[in-house]
Amino acid sequence: MKRIVLLLISLTALFSCSVKGSLNLEADGAGSMDMSFTLAPYFGDFFNDLADADQLVAETDKSMKENPAVTSHTIDSSEKYRYSGTFTFDDFEKMMAPKEGEEQTVFVMEKRGNETTLRITFTRENWEQMSVLVPIFSDPTIAMLGPSGSIGLTEEEYREMVIYPFEGYASSLEEAQKGLDDSSLVFTVTLPGTIISQKGGTVSGRTVTYRIPLIRMLMLDQSLTYSVTYIQE
């Protein structure tokens, strides 16, 4: 039971917190990525009571070391309620490559003439491919409690399932519910050229920002598709 609750926590680890990610691409396909999670105190206490945070950090560290395209990485969990990581890579598409024989569908680069399009797609089918960045996503129980676990459930039923473990930690389940409602993933992509079009975000200079409500990422009852097209300089 503790194992199931812990895995459920891993899926709801974004509740009432700041979740930010940034991808910086260079002309040759190299670049860097930063991720940070700042947890609400009630969630941080709950997480620390049941989870082996050191093990989760160790799994991520191992994954980065084994990825042939990752050239350097750092993971910081020294600050209470906050986890962050930075890594650099020499080939973005190689870094995101899935298991042999599978097609990588989360981040897809398409080139046409002098235009390059980056397509970002999240579906129930490609959920496990995100384990390249978040290793615990490859756990079959995580997959069951994640988007595939929402199959056949209404949004209200799914919300009740993921909110229940916070009873006794949040001041009320309503607080945890509000945390879910207010939470989103903010992800920015900075590109080596002039952005000429995009879908699903906002543009400032060479950077496009996407803000994705957490409930949509957890359920994925509909595919989420984003894109940005740029002319390399």
Q: How far is CA 27 from CA 31, 203, 207, 222, in A?
A: 9, 19, 14, 33
Rg (CA), the chain: 18
Determine the pLDDT at residue 61. 85
Determine the pLDDT at residue 198. 98
Smallest CA-to-CA distance from 8 within 212, 165, 204 is with 165
Is the pLDDT confidence value at 52 over 70? no
pLDDT digits (tens, 9 = 90+) for 176-217: 777 778 778 889 999 999 999 999 999 999 999 999 887 888
Mean pLDDT score of the chain: 80
Is the pLDDT confidence value at 15 over 60? no
Determine the pLDDT at residue 82. 80
Residues in CB range of 10: below 8 A, 6 or more apart: 51, 56, 136, 142
25 confidence band (pLDDT: 50, 70, 90): very high
Determine the pLDDT at residue 119. 95
Is the pLDDT confidence value at 13 over 50? no
Determine the pLDDT at residue 129. 78
Rounded CA separation 175/163 (Å): 10
Higher pLDDT, 83 or 176: 83
CB 23 within 8 A of CB 29: no
Is the pLDDT confidence value at 88 over 80? yes
Is the pLDDT confidence value at 30 over 60? yes
Rounded CA separation 104/113 (Å): 23
Q: Which two tokens stand for residue 210?
A: 């996407």
Determine the pLDDT at residue 6. 40
Higher pLDDT, 111 or 126: 111
